[in-house]
Chain A
Amino acid sequence: MSSSSSSLSISGLLRRPEAGAFLGLLGVLIFFVIFGSMEFLKPSGAASWLNVAASLGIIALPIGLLMIAGELDISIGAMIPAGSMTVAILSGHYGLPIWVGILGALSFGVIIGLINGYLVIRTAVPSLIVTLGTLFAVQGIVLGLSVIITGTTSVALTAAPWAKFIFGQFVGGTFQVIIFWWLAITAVYIFVVHFTRYGNWIFAMGGDKISARNAGIPTEKLTITLFVLSSTSAAFVGMCQAILFNSAQVSAGMTFIFNSIISVVVGGVLLTGGFGSIVGIFFGTLTFAVVNQGIYFTTFDRNWSSLIIGIMLLLAVLMNNTFRRMALSYAPKKK
């Protein structure tokens, strides 16, 4: 292991769950600066990947927590359009005040989250299957109701100026305001997950659910809370998009399912639960967004970006495995 005090602190950093994600982010940034241009780091360039990262990140954080707790939620793919259609139908089609639409979208998220969580704890069905069911069910409801109510699959929405200012403006012309939401939400997650006891409960639950329950952790309540968090976050992102673009479509959001899982895994969260960090998920999301958008700054054909993402995912997982092994085998040197 480490021999001097300076390398000790480096190996200490490497043992953290976010080490791989951070190095990955550095790697892809350097890659695109070399093969692309410095444009990429200038405000106009940065906005392109920050905008992608923000929407994805708000969803990836609760997905990451679910994965740390040993669960998964893929119904978010349907919750994003559900969120945008709810606000657009309520406030656009029916012309109700925008806050009714916002409240409606978020309530829809809470309800679906409650259903997901309740089904997962009451049946022993894996959450992947449960949320696969709700993914399609919600998609059906949204498409069916939209066509019945509005006759189309795309609804226009004009939000009140205050709502536009808070949820859907471009700051400085290019930065979506949701970036600031993402940063603020990340800070809240960091605090709750790493500095309060509730975070400890989530990790314990992912490590061993039965032991966690025997230790007095309300695992069922916690599971439901996490599912509510993920579907409400997805509805929130959908709602912000509808307000930002002044319209909502039925079909949008399926790519978020895989993208959020990739961000979380690149961020160092263990697929089987019990290990990970919020900062890691944050870096993982940024890394994904940089790769996703960076290709436009290079001379490469954009069709190659999936290849890069695939390779990056595999590299990240291998790297994270190595770092996790280092963390496990770490023992302070005997004095």
Chain B
Amino acid sequence: MEKPPILEMRDVCKSFGLIDVLHNISLRVHSGEVLCLLGDNGAGKSTLIKTLAGVFNPTSGTVLMDGTPVTFSSPRDASNRGISTVHQFGGTFPLMSIGRSFFVGVEPTRKWGPFTIYDRKKANEIAVNAVQEFGITRIDDGDRLIGGLSGGERQSLAIARAVYFGARVLILDEPTAALGVKEAAHVLRIVLQARQKGIAVIFITHNVVHALTVGDHFAVLIRGAKAADFRKGEKTREEITDLMAGGEHMAELEAEIQHLKAPNASATVTTH
């Protein structure tokens, strides 16, 4: 019998009042594996990750960790069990220093006479080391403010932080959405490094290219239901894009775009 998945959802439904947001979602992610969660805007991706991160409890269905059912009482509870969420903009405290924001809530302290004081040196050192381990050598001063880092650096720092604090499941919410090509590549590299460390990564994106670069396993959400679940190499980029857009729409849309790009575009449009 193989090891149970580190995190699993079984027939999870979530509704807010009369509105059903998630229908019978079943997903599993193993350690050292990247699960890409694809879906267009409004497909229920954020509700799904909030359910995994302890913000919401499922209306029905179960969430299991290492094969045992769990109920998270709060996001804090989920993160104590090793589920860590990194949001699109990474650092949420732009005006705090790298060292201080890295340790928010769990500041290292040292004795100073009869007093217990915040150990700035230690905090800065650990934070800088943690992020440099992921190959981001440009961050070398823990006193710099988060707001002065680039988007990719912030993401990297947030991922390094989660890993440092013992995350076993890393939920990345559109980490590459706001980034340039090069920055996004950095973040993708860090995702793979985290995977190498045996961390289970849930990578939320609507960028199929990024998903195909890092993903081992893919799930496509459409209007709150799982429309497809496949492993690397089982589907092409075009097939996935079509799936995400909800079937044939994409092909039609692309044809229309081609039409408009043609020299006699205006004529075609008016005959429509």
Q: Contact residues of A with B, CB < 8 Å?
A: 191, 195-197, 199-201, 203-204, 207-208, 211-217, 270, 274-275, 324, 327-332, 334
Query: Which has the most chain A C-beta neighbours within 10 Å: B79, B105, B117, B118?
Result: B105
Quick one: which of B101, B106, B118, B144 contacts A330, CB cutoff 8 A?
A: B144
Question: Is the CB of B93 closer than 8 A to any CB of chain A?
Answer: yes
- A76→B140 CA distance, assembly (Å): 44
Task: Determine the main DSSP class of A at the interface with B.
Answer: helix
Indicate if B109 sits at the interface (CB-CB under 8 A).
yes
Q: Are A211 and B92 in contact (CB under 8 A)?
A: yes
Which residues of B148-177 have CB atoms within 8 Å of chain A's CB atoms? Answer: 148
Cα–Cα distance between A195 and B76 once the two chains are bound (Å): 26
User: What does the 1/0 interface line of B36-57 toward A look like (CB < 8 Å)?
Assistant: 0000000000000000000000
A-contact 0/1 string along B181-213, CB 8 Å cutoff: 000000000000000000000000000000000
Task: Specify which of B93, B116, B140, B141 is in contact with A207 (CB 8 Å cutoff).
Answer: B93
Residues of B within 8 A of A275 (CB): 95
The answer to whether A214 touches B93 (Cβ under 8 A) is no
| CB pair A327 B140 closer than 8 Å | no
Chain B 75-106 per-residue mask, 1 if CB under 8 angstroms from chain A, else 0: 11001000000000000111110001101111
Closest CB in chain A relative to B160 CB, distance in Å: 16
A196 touches B101 (CB 8 A): no
What's the minimum C-beta distance from B232 to chain A, rounded to whole angstroms?
A: 33
* Bound: A332/B100 CA distance, A: 18
The total of interchain contacts (Cβ-Cβ below 8 angstroms) comes to 85
* Cβ-defined partner of A200 (8 Å) among B95, B104, B112: B104
Q: Do B117 and A330 touch across chains, with their CB atoms under 8 A apart? A: no
Interface size on B, residues (CB 8 A): 29
For residue B147, CB closer than 8 A to chain A, the reply is yes
Q: Which of A200, A270, A328 contacts B148 (CB 8 A)?
A: A328
Q: Looking at the assembled complex, report how far the CB atom of B238 sits from the nearest CB atom of chain A, in whole angstroms.
A: 38
Task: Kindly state the separation between the CA atoms of A92 and B102 in the bound complex, as whole angstroms.
Answer: 54
| A195 pairs with B118, CB closer than 8 A | yes
10 nearest CB pairs, A to B: A215-B105, A207-B93, A197-B107, A216-B105, A211-B92, A208-B92, A275-B95, A328-B147, A195-B117, A274-B95
List 26 A-B residue pairs with CB atoms under 8 Å apart, sorted by A's residue number. A195-B112, A195-B115, A195-B117, A195-B118, A196-B109, A197-B109, A197-B118, A200-B100, A200-B103, A200-B107, A203-B95, A203-B96, A203-B100, A204-B93, A207-B92, A212-B105, A214-B74, A215-B76, A216-B106, A274-B96, A275-B95, A327-B145, A328-B148, A329-B148, A331-B138, A332-B140
Closest to B85 in A: A214
- Answer whether A274 and B109 are a contact pair too, CB < 8 Å, given A204-B101, A328-B145: no
Additional pairs, 14, CB under 8 Å, beyond known A195-B112, A207-B101, A331-B144 = A191-B115, A191-B117, A196-B116, A196-B118, A200-B103, A203-B96, A208-B93, A211-B104, A215-B104, A216-B105, A217-B104, A324-B95, A328-B148, A330-B144
By the criterion CB–CB under 8 Å, are B117 and A217 in contact?
no
- Are the C-beta atoms of A196 and B117 separated by less than 8 Å? yes
Query: Which residue of chain B lies nearest to A17 when distances are taken between CB atoms in the complex?
Result: B95
Q: What separation, in Å, do the CA atoms of A328 and B116 have in the docked complex?
A: 29
Find chain A residues with CB under 8 A from B95 CB. Answer: 203, 207, 270, 274-275, 324, 328
CA distance A324 to B148 in the complex (A): 11
From B138, B141, B145, name the one whose CB has the most chain A CB atoms within 10 angstroms. Answer: B145
Which one of A204, A324, A328 contacts B105 once the chains associate, using CB atoms below 8 Å?
Answer: A204
* A331 to B141 Cα, complex, angstroms: 8
When the two chains form their complex, are residues A214 and B118 in contact, meaning their CB atoms are under 8 A apart? no
Residue of B nearest to A327 (CB): B145
Q: Which residues of A contact B117 (CB under 8 A)?
A: 191, 195-196
Closest to A331 in B: B148
A207 in contact with B106 (CB, 8 Å): no
A196: which B residues are within 8 A, CB to CB? 109, 115-118
Chain B neighbourhood of A216, CB < 8 A: 76, 105-106
